[in-house]
């Protein structure tokens, strides 16, 4: 019995296994211990991937419409606020120390020259406004006004890769301090060289796992993607680091929070100065605004009630702030899961001038064929971002260069779909009249992915750049941003030089004429004296001449 031939099993067992696995395809997606168990589909290679994409896309659109509908309701509430002055404040200020007023330092084109590059890949601006939103952004930079950038991306910029150097370069050129927005708590640990964060006793949620989020918080996400709910005792401490020269201290800390009930938040500045804030119950996003000469750390602790805390913005008066909003494995669609009203209120508080959308790497990796649906989806993301951040310029970053193993050999070849996806992303930017920057072209100018790997700028998966690579891409991006600002400055400097020259020429002319008049007066005087000796006739002529000169002079 034991040694009976079982060879026929290889056929019917394999058949049964196939039937079993195909059968698993009928098990719908379900949730287990907070994890989403996806439907498996062994026949997927036979299926048209585009159809699934379409379903997903339609679901997103539906959500978008609901969100927008919800937003208009909130807008009405905001309008009511004007007639109801007893509403609690949106901003709780704590001035812990005098901050010296910012001295506006005039910016010269000379100071920007170092950031220019001959091989610059220009930002393509499809905006059709007379002065495009991107031009307004450049203009603000050139005028030394403060600007704020929301950099939304996936794991490509996680840990402040790229954005830390973008921030450092821009702050070096245009001023400003601080790391910008930092989350309060994230459901998994991440490490950022640019800021230290320790959190405890919060329940942290991610916009990527909507099923795990309590119902009453579902519409409360900000584009930061992470939300922390904390009762009494929940604590977070943020500490600056000296990873970059402009980060070791700052002068403003703004804690963004939401408190449906009256709560008390205890603050501790630089581990030494305590302060307590009672946040009245309200349905709007609020901020606790801390100002001090030298903010090196800030701790918040919930002492009463409970709050939803988004995070803190560490910044300064003036200059550039760059907020890194990276959400792992986000294709950009997570924006539909963020609350339009919350985003809008945060925008009103913080004032974004530029919103960067860096996505697509994951789309490409999934090997999807049809990018046209993705383009439509991207257009909707852009539309959503425009609703949330009105007035801000929107910049779509093209997908970065990526190479894959051609087969078992270990040799890498370009993935091929980079150019295809890039052109779809550009098309989306074009049709929605926003700006586009071709990341892969900028990387190609630096030698492409093989050079990135060879120089140790990217991981050997030929996909993810590291901090060194991030610096290179950031430099290329800064070059693209700085060039138009440089042009504006050069133009302004030329203009003012021209005006100066004109003024000088006018002054010279005036001087020359004054000289001439003086000479004439002198000569008339001479003549007069001469007349005293010789007769009256000449004197009358000269007097006429003199009065003419004087009246001329008066008009001058």
**Minimum CB distance to other proteins, residue 225 (Å):** 15
**Minimum CB distance to other proteins, residue 198 (Å):** 8
Of the pair 159, 318, the CB lying nearest other proteins is at: 159
Of the pair 184, 481, the CB lying nearest other proteins is at: 184
307-315/354-358 β-pairing: unpaired
**Minimum CB distance to other proteins, residue 31 (Å):** 13
Query: In this structure, what are the phi and psi dihedrals at residue 356, rounded to the nearest 5 degrees?
Result: -100, 135
**Minimum CB distance to other proteins, residue 77 (Å):** 36
**Minimum CB distance to other proteins, residue 19 (Å):** 9
Of the pair 4, 272, the CB lying nearest other proteins is at: 4
Of the pair 11, 79, the CB lying nearest other proteins is at: 11
Instruction: Name the token pair of 500.
Output: 């100066």
Question: How many CA within 13 A on the CB side of residue 525?
Answer: 6
Per DSSP, 87 falls in state S
**Minimum CB distance to other proteins, residue 364 (Å):** 9
Of the pair 14, 72, the CB lying nearest other proteins is at: 14
**Minimum CB distance to other proteins, residue 453 (Å):** 8
Of the pair 130, 189, the CB lying nearest other proteins is at: 189
Of the pair 11, 130, the CB lying nearest other proteins is at: 11
Site of tokens 């009762």 = 231
Instruction: Name the token pair of 351.
Output: 């004032």
Instruction: Name the token pair of 529.
Output: 């004296």
Would you say how long the chain is, in residues? 556
250-258/35-37 β-pairing: unpaired
**Minimum CB distance to other proteins, residue 244 (Å):** 15
Question: How many CA within 13 A on the CB side of residue 174?
Answer: 29
**Minimum CB distance to other proteins, residue 136 (Å):** 35
**Minimum CB distance to other proteins, residue 334 (Å):** 12
**Minimum CB distance to other proteins, residue 439 (Å):** 16
Of the pair 18, 499, the CB lying nearest other proteins is at: 18
CA distance 474 to 489: 22
**Residue 153, Cβ density class (10 Å: 0-12 exposed, 13-18 middle, ≥19 buried):** buried
Q: How far is CA 184 from CA 126, 242, 286, 301, 340, in A?
A: 36, 20, 15, 11, 20
CA distance 392 to 347: 9
Collect all residues with Cβ–Cβ distance below 8 Å to 132 and sequence separation of at least 6.
Answer: 125, 393, 435
Instruction: Name the token pair of 265.
Output: 């938040």
Of the pair 208, 490, the CB lying nearest other proteins is at: 208
Dihedral sign, CA of 110, 396, 341, 312? negative
Collect all residues with Cβ–Cβ distance below 8 Å to 378 and sequence separation of at least 6.
Answer: 332, 357, 359, 396, 424, 425, 428
CA distance 336 to 58: 12
Of the pair 24, 516, the CB lying nearest other proteins is at: 24
| Closest among 140, 123, 129 to 386, alpha carbons compared | 129
Instruction: Name the token pair of 170.
Output: 């821009």
Instruction: Name the token pair of 268.
Output: 């501790």
**Minimum CB distance to other proteins, residue 247 (Å):** 16
Asked whether the beta carbons of 468 and 454 are under 8 A apart, the reply is: no
511-523 burial, b if ≥16 CB within 10 A, otherwise e? eeeeeebeebeee
Binding interface with other proteins (CB under 8 A) = 2-11, 13-18, 20-21, 24-26, 37-38, 40, 42-43, 45-48, 51, 155, 158-159, 161, 188-191, 193, 328-329, 361-362, 365-367, 404-411, 453, 456, 459-461, 463-464, 466-467
Asked whether the beta carbons of 187 and 205 are under 8 A apart, the reply is: yes
Of the pair 89, 456, the CB lying nearest other proteins is at: 456
Q: How far is CA 466 from CA 191, 331, 393, 472, in A?
A: 14, 20, 27, 10
**Minimum CB distance to other proteins, residue 169 (Å):** 20
Of the pair 40, 232, the CB lying nearest other proteins is at: 40
Query: In this structure, what are the phi and psi dihedrals at residue 87, rounded to the nearest 5 degrees?
Result: -60, 140
Q: How far is CA 508 from CA 465, 494, 514, in A?
A: 60, 20, 10
Of the pair 172, 337, the CB lying nearest other proteins is at: 337
């Amino acid at each position: 019995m034991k040694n009976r031939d079982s060879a026929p099993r290889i056929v019917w067992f394999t058949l049964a296994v196939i039937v079993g696995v195909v059968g698993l395809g009928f098990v719908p997606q379900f949730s287990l211990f907070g994890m989403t168990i996806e439907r498996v589909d062994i026949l997927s290679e036979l299926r048209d991937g585009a159809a699934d994409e379409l379903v997903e896309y339609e679901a997103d659109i539906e959500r978008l419409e609901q969100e927008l509908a919800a937003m208009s309701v909130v807008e009405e509430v905001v309008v009511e606020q004007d007639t109801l002055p007893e509403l609690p404040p949106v901003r709780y200020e704590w001035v812990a120390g005098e901050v010296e007023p910012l001295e506006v330092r005039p910016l010269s084109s000379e100071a920007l020259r170092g950031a220019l590059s001959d091989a610059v890949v220009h930002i393509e601006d499809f905006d059709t406004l007379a002065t495009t939103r991107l031009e307004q952004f450049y203009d603000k930079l050139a005028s030394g006004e403060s600007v704020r950038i929301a950099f939304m991306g996936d794991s490509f910029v996680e840990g402040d890769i790229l954005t830390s150097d973008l921030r450092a370069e821009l702050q070096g050129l245009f001023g400003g301090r601080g790391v910008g927005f930092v989350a309060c708590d994230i459901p998994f640990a991440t490490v950022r060289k640019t800021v230290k964060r320790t959190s405890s006793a919060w329940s942290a949620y991610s916009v990527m796992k909507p099923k795990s989020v309590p119902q009453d918080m579902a519409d409360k996400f900000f584009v930061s993607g992470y939300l922390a709910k904390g009762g009494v005792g929940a604590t977070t401490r943020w500490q600056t680091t000296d990873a970059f020269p402009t980060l070791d201290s700052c002068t403003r800390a703004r804690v963004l929070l939401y408190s449906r009930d009256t709560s008390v938040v205890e603050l501790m500045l630089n581990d030494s100065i305590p302060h307590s804030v009672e946040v009245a119950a309200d349905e709007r996003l609020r901020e606790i605004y801390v100002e001090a000469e030298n903010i090196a750390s800030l701790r918040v602790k919930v002492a009463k009630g409970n709050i939803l805390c988004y995070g803190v913005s560490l910044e300064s008066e003036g200059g550039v702030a760059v907020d890194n909003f990276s959400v792992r494995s986000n294709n950009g669609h997570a924006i539909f899961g963020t609350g339009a009203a919350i985003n809008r209120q945060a925008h009103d508080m913080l004032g974004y001038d530029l919103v960067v959308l860096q996505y697509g790497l994951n789309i490409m990796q999934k090997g999807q064929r049809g990018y046209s649906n993705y383009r439509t989806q991207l257009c909707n993301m852009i539309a959503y971002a425009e609703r949330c951040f009105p007035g801000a310029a929107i910049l779509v970053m093209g997908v970065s260069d990526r190479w894959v193993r051609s087969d078992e050999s270990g040799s890498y070849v370009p993935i091929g779909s980079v150019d295809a996806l890039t052109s779809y992303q550009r098309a989306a930017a074009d049709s929605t009249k926003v700006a586009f920057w071709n990341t892969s072209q900028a990387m190609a100018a630096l030698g492409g992915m093989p050079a990135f790997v060879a120089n140790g700028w990217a991981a050997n998966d030929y996909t993810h750049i590291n901090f060194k690579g991030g610096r290179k891409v950031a430099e290329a991006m800064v070059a693209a941003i700085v060039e138009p600002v440089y042009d504006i400055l050069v133009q302004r400097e030329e203009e003012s030089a021209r005006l100066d020259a004109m003024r000088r020429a006018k002054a010279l002319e005036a001087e020359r004429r004054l000289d001439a008049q003086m000479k004439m007066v002198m000569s008339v005087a001479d003549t007069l004296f001469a007349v005293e000796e010789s007769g009256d006739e000449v004197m009358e002529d000269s007097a006429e001449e003199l009065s003419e000169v004087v009246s001329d002079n008066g008009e001058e």
